[in-house]
Structure 1
């Protein structure tokens, strides 16, 4: 897994080469976690809290990518609050602050499941989002990043307009329009 894969996931989800997620850039967040894991492995003094915080930032980034992709497909106004909660949590200075921000506004997450119409891609994206929240290791996040990249590259972001509904509409009566 690579920092570039994480960047691609966010770029695809936001449909932007510079997604507005991390000030320092997604690659930096990913490589900081990798470095923290190496330091912890070789006992170079990184605290458990620092390691946890770096992991949580990566997990938030992956979760944000999936929620943003879901919103692009669902266009559900109420669900936008979830994205705001996750982005606010990124501003936290430690893991406890992240938990506090999310717990305070946990009810917003229920909105992801309202007004969902049958759409397998939206359901898959929500499943990846849920799996992200359950992930406990960098390897699990790496797998979710790859699964997400695979899914998001297959998504039809601009489905064709259904002309079947247009056929049911009767054309305007030209004589009536002229009389106006």
Structure 2
């Protein structure tokens, strides 16, 4: 069930850009984790975490036209190309400034706050049950978002 929710989250967050933003193999990251040998599970879990975090950042960026969220999404996307947990960590550490700027001068509405909260929970999740809970909540929230609503700047 969570594999299906994971795919729903990706589809809802990336919508028409899914095929260009996410490699087709990454659509099966949840199943890859479930089938991974014990020595590969840590790496597969990190890839799943990156994809969930990317989805949340994409939704936040699209919801409020937030450039810092796009930059964090791009860092996460670069980290997704890593071949080991160490390479993922190195990519994230090298680009830490983007994560620090994510919360600077950020005005978000209630939905944006929920996305940021789920993003934080994604980064903190260290078990599959915790990640499954985030995926479920994220899939439900992103599916309900109105990306076509006018942004605050658009109303002027």
Give the structure-2-normalised TM-score. 0.88
Which residue in the other structure is 1:5 paired with? 5
Larger radius of gyration: 1
Aligned-pair CA distance for 1:7: 1.0
Aligned-pair CA distance for 1:79: 3.0
Q: Flag the structure with more relative contact order, 1 or 2, with Cα contacts below 8 A and sequence separation at least 6.
A: 2
Aligned-pair CA distance for 1:67: 0.5
The alpha-carbon distance between structure 1 residues 155 and 143, as it changes in their structure 2 partners (threshold 3 A), is same
SS of alignment partner, residue 91 of structure 1:
coil
Unmatched tracts of structure 2, length 5 or more: none
**How big is the alpha-carbon RMSD for the aligned residues of Structure 1 and Structure 2?**
1.9
Unmatched tracts of structure 1, length 5 or more: 41-46, 167-180
Match of 2:81 among 91, 94, 100: 91
Query: Map of 1:119-158 to 2, 5 A cutoff?
Result: 119-158=109-148
SS of alignment partner, residue 42 of structure 2:
helix
Aligned-pair CA distance for 1:116: 2.1
Aligned-pair CA distance for 1:89: 0.2
Alpha carbons 2:2, 2:135 under 8 Å: kept: no
SS of alignment partner, residue 141 of structure 1:
helix
Give the structure-1-normalised TM-score. 0.77
Alpha carbons 1:60, 1:86 under 8 Å: kept: yes
More deviation, 135-144/119-128: 135-144
Which residue in the other structure is 2:23 paired with? 22
Superposed structure 1 runs of 4+ greater than 4 Å apart: none
Distance 1:17 1:75 in 2: 16
Deviations along 1:73-125, whole A, 9 cap, x unmatched?
12122332111110000000000100010011111012221332240000100
How many residues align? The count is 153
Which residue in the other structure is 2:100 paired with? 110
Distance 1:83 1:51 in 2: 23
